Structure 1
């Protein structure tokens, strides 16, 4: 199965689980990652961070759950991608590894994946990772983050660690309303949120807790003006002087969303309890794109005489429900549960055209593509302690899991992908710059799916584990785990193991370490996903150019002729070594080093295009001008790093109490091996203006330089009278963006300090007022150049960054607790 039998769903005492406002985090009771009984963070045999609901709520007014985590944890980074549909799913990385390598649990049970794929923001692996932003912040009691490979305990996806989101179970309630605005930018700069939760008794000894969030974030952007000022033809057209050179609306998409949840438990008798929890929500988004100029191949005067900004719209429904029973029988603790989750996303556009249909093209498409992911999980976990003559009992834990994953994609309106074959005629555009040229094909700025692209995949996964935790000596803990998994679709069978140990040299100082192996099967999206999209791309020379791009299914005849092979599972080995130091009860210091090796890592190939590929493309019914790519087991990587966390709480009498904290991560990923380019690509011959590089330098850079090598978070939280003041300063290391094969076109971003401040004032015991600023000093990344070098188009000012590039955001909040 994927969780410990004593996971937080069992009911961690609220006061024990999260420290009081003026208390210390050192006594936090955690259950993630250990099976030999509960431990505090300072006593844990593996590195674990605890994030309270209060910390999450005060992590910035625009931040949702995913970004909030990255503001609080140095080993986590946020892929702030600003282009089209990819700006909706912004991946969260852990220890320099993409979202595919961190398992997400809710109340100790596996969370289902998103229907959408990651593509950008530091991760283009094509996995459909868990979308953390669809879990309501108001429902979260605390989060346990295991920063250690745990595939042998929790199964696939836990290569870099585990995030366990524990839902509230307390009585009483909370209502809050916040609103804020970006310091500067274009578009709608405001964000408004409402939240409420309430808990009450269920029966005589049970509980039920409800939570709901609603939010609206405006569509905002900040882009360089276009340097090529020609919009209408000819260039002498006086209307060009009136154009504001607004060439792109890439940035934060507009979001209107609501999420709700419940968490309930009801004892049947003294030995058995029933429990259930669930989340559900809806999200509607509007994402901007590059401007389609009036004189371009994507604009027709009869429809848009002045050009247009094509929109990516999406409508998403997401839910998950868990039902289970747990209890104790003959000294065995057991937990039996079933879970079902579903994510469904429909892509459409309120404003775009398929230029190849000519003036008859619709300007709105209600259905361009639909994605769906479903997951059904059944778990049984059993644990018991045995007295075998050691200082402490031997803890024996075992269990099993049966999981069924489903991934489906559905074709959209044929008018969105049909090649109408329209050729520009006189009168179609002012100045007639493109007469005789074929118009662009497909709904612009959109991902469209044709019937040939559809995928309908299901996979059954069966797993079983055995975990033994024991103390050879009173101050020495050893945990061993072994897990076997079988994938019913032929993705592979595996046995993973882990050895974890901790030795307390003194009551204040301990050493801990881990060695283990892991396994990650290809995701269903990597196996079966295909798409066509009509937008801009970066060519081999680093220029931004229009492209009709095609992601090929790995098993398609065209992909096979280009060297594609069946995807194999990724295999990993991990090592960890650390120390913990607690000089006094109010101070805690941990230092942990790690290394994760991943073999046969799955990536997207580079785009293959140009005249040399045209005959092969035409053989399979394409125009010959498409840019194509597919997924492949292309590289081996090595990731090494160090995590340092220190915190202390000090009482300064009349000056109040201050909780000081510092957290630091150093992380480096290296590509150890790149698979040889398939001969069908290597021997293609002359390809002027095209690309034959199978795994390009820009893709290597995405793995090795896509995240800052160091990240430092310094914090101080000051409690004085009715005030609670929180100050955090985060330093992100320098970054390099590899735009092309030419190192001269690399874009370097310098290190930056981001400062967050919020001030909370207790008006009464129940009413609280908060004012704050995320990115107080409006720090932004270094600008990456004035538009594209040859086309003169508008471009993103800051590129992909590990933090929000929208700049400073100030906000206020009023809350009532009862």
Structure 2
């Protein structure tokens, strides 16, 4: 035998000797084999997928191994096996469907994890990995909006930065009244405060969309007040995002789609592409891991504008067409001018719909045991999004906001944002004698920078640029936690004791833009009079005398049109610290009766201390019936944004453009009006409910009552008078120096009550060779203003401005108070089918004009998808969101703003983009 051939045969024999053994078997559920189940050797980069008969085979060296089997919709199973030389090992698995089990949750308790149906307060569990296979939605906000009835979030339009960071809420309360955790650690909020016409106006929320879906294993939603357990913001509840910890498997999802709707531009718009990848690696031989996830997101804009019917050209644009040629008076000459220029009204429409967006995320989750009793862990990530949203079209007739040399036919301003987000958490946890100890530090930062394109500064006349760097925001949060817990098994039926401490540092900054983005170059200051009695003026951007006028005699507007930049006067760099200590005791009096009590003290460096408590319990009458109840107090500290945000913004209110300034509560104008300093919101929360486990049918019903005192609102618009009282004149001059016409503030203005009931019903069955699951859930909630408005004596008679009608509607009825969801899933062999109907209840138009407060009726939105698994690990899904192309009720003529709007942008149920068709390819190996 030739040497080379001999060597090859020898290598083959060695390989056969080393890997001549196998582990093989069948993976099935209680009725049938499972195709495409993942079988892995724990701690090794070795595995296989089951074939059409549920069979798998793995070549392996002799030794003792732990074999793990996972399959979507089933509980992961693990078994030990020993392989001896010359012998094959047989190892079968029977998997239990997660439909037949109660989901295990960790949120709401510092004791051992419990099943979803035995928690003392309601907790929803959302399996993001499974939903991402068949759901049309790809972002976390929209996934939760269609899955969890108590959760609400919609993409906004014409709301500046809020177009890109969707406000989200729980139980109809504010975006800043729900606390977000990742792996049980506090997540930082965004740097953006919502100040325009959208739900959550005046609030600061958490940007859930900064976290890629590929990084998420599941989401737990605690629907109960939890400030005593987790601290500020947890008035409505807590959302805990559990990151993926899977190893030795690559998961790739690519989704694409677009809006194919009766109002789509060119029959298709809003094209969307999202690519996700996830891969985990084992670290060491003691169960350590690092899981990596990345995403790329692209979203095109949509446009659901109506045809503008207002004045586009007046006779100042062409004095020859004035009633008296050469003597314009502002007469509408739109039709004649359009004909002369060869244009139509559609050339002057705004762009009303979702913003354009592209970006990506990188996330990781890691754990490394350093001894038998301790592990080091870390998680975090980066997110970047570049987005573009349109403002209102500026027509040639808006003489003070345009320059016809630059834009003879007007212009559509574009607000461009660069949103950067980063976070990192690290810690060590383990056992110290009988105690569990967890020490961690979590850092997060969000920054938003604004650019205004396709615009101008009218006060600069012909010299104006058409693009401006407008400045931005920054917010940093660093949280350090030290937690201890221990379970004592001897007293009663067991007692769990937990306590800990927290230190949090926060910093908020406003960064100024370039000078031309905020300056009014037509302002001047009077320094005296000359010999003839004429005023002597010197140019001064903060002056209160205009010197540059449009053809109609009105002063030109200053700053970048649609989004004036932040000036050095707006620049802010504010910090604070908060320290907290808590104690938590769970007493199992018997196997059936559990009582949990928590107490938390928290002190803020900028406004003082608070002490809150919670008491909750549950009683298990039988394996089929459990009752539970809870009572608690809570608080929410005013955010640094609410305390220190100040800027001038272009807003559209009741059909008119207004330059409105936001001023801090320690400003001179606040003192003149009698606006008090901010303090914390406080709450009382009560809930009671039952759960029932009837085998294939499971039921939870929970009612709740939440009272919030001294709730922080964003006020209506105050103004001064040029020729009014001395106070009114001073207010007018202060506003003029800020390039503002009105003033707004944050204030503890009201008390509210929220009452509601949540119902969740699930049913599972296994007809024939298939699996069927039905989920029916609904929320019915009502938030109401109670008691008088908290105004000072200086505000007497101005209560309707302090808390105006639009703000009341945003609070009470701008999002659905009733929401219900029926989801049906059926899978058989390689096929999977999904049908969902979501009912979004009625809403009311948020406007100060009472006659225009239209009510929009409830609607049902239908989602449908079908999937086919070609081979184990390769699946194609196609489907639709809003299959029947349902839109909200159209606006009445009075609310259309001269035809601009077809649907409400202020009070949204489910958006107004119409039917979305998608396809998704999923690959696992």
TM-score (norm 2): 0.81
1:426-575 to 2 correspondence within 5 Å? 434-489=551-606, 491-538=607-654, 544-575=655-686
> Partner of 2:822 in structure 1?
714
| Residue 643 of structure 1 pairs with residue 758 of structure 2 | yes
| Residue 747 of structure 1 pairs with residue 851 of structure 2 | no
1:353-372 to 2 correspondence within 5 Å? 353-365=456-468, 367-372=469-474
1:286-301 to 2 correspondence within 5 Å? 286-296=388-398, 297-301=400-404
| Residue 76 of structure 1 pairs with residue 121 of structure 2 | no
> How big is each residue's C-alpha offset from its partner over 1:690-718, in whole Å with a ceiling of 9 and x where there is no partner?
x9722111111111112212111001000
Would you say the 8 A contact 2:138–2:274 is kept in 1? no
> Partner of 1:51 in structure 2?
126
Q: What's the CA shift for 1:738?
A: 3.1
2:574 and 2:367 map into 1 onto residues whose CA distance is 35
Structure 1: stretches of 5+ with no match in the other structure: 1-12, 424-431, 539-543, 685-690
2:885 and 2:457 map into 1 onto residues whose CA distance is 40
Q: What's the CA shift for 1:741?
A: 3.7
> Partner of 2:730 in structure 1?
616
Q: What's the CA shift for 1:739?
A: 1.4
Distance 1:98 1:17, change over 3 A: farther
1:697 and 1:127 map into 2 onto residues whose CA distance is 18
> How big is each residue's C-alpha offset from its partner over 1:273-300, in whole Å with a ceiling of 9 and x where there is no partner?
1111111111111001111001212111
1:536 and 1:120 map into 2 onto residues whose CA distance is 8
Would you say the 8 A contact 1:80–1:805 is kept in 2? no
> How big is each residue's C-alpha offset from its partner over 1:3-57, in whole Å with a ceiling of 9 and x where there is no partner?
xxxxxxxxxx996997459531742211100123210101111101000123442
Would you say the 8 A contact 2:512–2:568 is kept in 1? yes
1:781 and 1:218 map into 2 onto residues whose CA distance is 22
Q: What's the CA shift for 1:253?
A: 0.5
SS at match of 1:24: helix
Q: 2:704 aligns with which of 594, 618, 626?
A: 594
Distance 1:262 1:14, change over 3 A: farther
Q: 1:658 aligns with which of 743, 761, 772?
A: 772
Distance 1:120 1:625, change over 3 A: closer
How many residues are matched? Answer: 780
SS at match of 1:189: strand
1:342 and 1:768 map into 2 onto residues whose CA distance is 37
Would you say the 8 A contact 2:195–2:201 is kept in 1? yes
| Residue 405 of structure 1 pairs with residue 515 of structure 2 | no
Distance 1:389 1:614, change over 3 A: closer
> How big is each residue's C-alpha offset from its partner over 1:695-749, in whole Å with a ceiling of 9 and x where there is no partner?
111111111112212111001000112111111100011111131242x211221
SS at match of 2:808: helix
2:590 and 2:370 map into 1 onto residues whose CA distance is 39
Greater Cα offset, 354-363 or 660-669: 354-363
> Partner of 1:688 in structure 2?
none
Distance 1:17 1:162, change over 3 A: farther
Distance 1:163 1:115, change over 3 A: same
Q: What's the CA shift for 1:397?
A: 0.5
> Partner of 1:10 in structure 2?
none
Distance 1:770 1:301, change over 3 A: same
2:489 and 2:504 map into 1 onto residues whose CA distance is 34
> How big is each residue's C-alpha offset from its partner over 1:480-529, in whole Å with a ceiling of 9 and x where there is no partner?
0000001012x220110000000011121011000010011111111110
1:256 and 1:616 map into 2 onto residues whose CA distance is 46
| Residue 764 of structure 1 pairs with residue 871 of structure 2 | yes
> Partner of 1:211 in structure 2?
293
> Partner of 2:831 in structure 1?
723
Would you say the 8 A contact 2:282–2:290 is kept in 1? yes
Q: What's the CA shift for 1:618?
A: 3.6
1:131-530 to 2 correspondence within 5 Å? 131-171=207-247, 172-184=249-261, 185-186=264-265, 188-205=269-286, 206-228=288-310, 230-231=312-313, 233-234=317-318, 235=333, 236-237=336-337, 238-239=339-340, 242-245=343-346, 246-296=348-398, 297-365=400-468, 367-390=469-492, 392-421=493-522, 434-489=551-606, 491-530=607-646
Q: What's the CA shift for 1:251?
A: 1.4
Q: How much is the aligned-residue C-alpha RMSD, in angstroms?
A: 2.3
Distance 1:592 1:26, change over 3 A: farther
Would you say the 8 A contact 2:228–2:614 is kept in 1? yes
Greater RCO (Cα-Cα under 8 Å, separation 6 or more): 1
Would you say the 8 A contact 1:397–1:468 is kept in 2? yes
Would you say the 8 A contact 1:52–1:143 is kept in 2? yes
Would you say the 8 A contact 1:295–1:433 is kept in 2? no
Distance 1:316 1:146, change over 3 A: same
> Partner of 1:776 in structure 2?
883
1:142 and 1:224 map into 2 onto residues whose CA distance is 41
Q: What's the CA shift for 1:338?
A: 0.7
Q: What's the CA shift for 1:537?
A: 2.3
Would you say the 8 A contact 1:444–1:535 is kept in 2? no
Would you say the 8 A contact 1:318–1:342 is kept in 2? yes
SS at match of 1:526: helix
1:402 and 1:422 map into 2 onto residues whose CA distance is 47
Distance 1:460 1:19, change over 3 A: farther
Distance 1:520 1:558, change over 3 A: same
1:56-67 to 2 correspondence within 5 Å? 56-58=131-133, 60-61=135-136, 63-67=138-142
Q: What's the CA shift for 1:239?
A: 3.8
2:434 and 2:133 map into 1 onto residues whose CA distance is 43
Would you say the 8 A contact 2:191–2:641 is kept in 1? no
Q: What's the CA shift for 1:614?
A: 5.5
> Partner of 2:328 in structure 1?
none
Q: 2:181 aligns with which of 84, 96, 105?
A: 105
Would you say the 8 A contact 1:267–1:274 is kept in 2? yes
SS at match of 1:462: strand
Greater Cα offset, 612-621 or 632-641: 612-621
> How big is each residue's C-alpha offset from its partner over 1:241-260, in whole Å with a ceiling of 9 and x where there is no partner?
72233421121010011011
SS at match of 2:884: coil
SS at match of 1:262: strand
1:736 and 1:127 map into 2 onto residues whose CA distance is 20
The structure with the larger Rg is 2
Q: 1:41 aligns with which of 95, 116, 127?
A: 116
1:93 and 1:447 map into 2 onto residues whose CA distance is 29
Q: What's the CA shift for 1:108?
A: 0.7
SS at match of 1:699: helix
1:113 and 1:25 map into 2 onto residues whose CA distance is 37
2:173 and 2:197 map into 1 onto residues whose CA distance is 12
> Partner of 1:89 in structure 2?
165
Would you say the 8 A contact 1:87–1:251 is kept in 2? no
Distance 1:58 1:752, change over 3 A: farther
SS at match of 2:193: coil
> Partner of 1:4 in structure 2?
none
Would you say the 8 A contact 2:156–2:166 is kept in 1? yes
Distance 1:448 1:601, change over 3 A: same
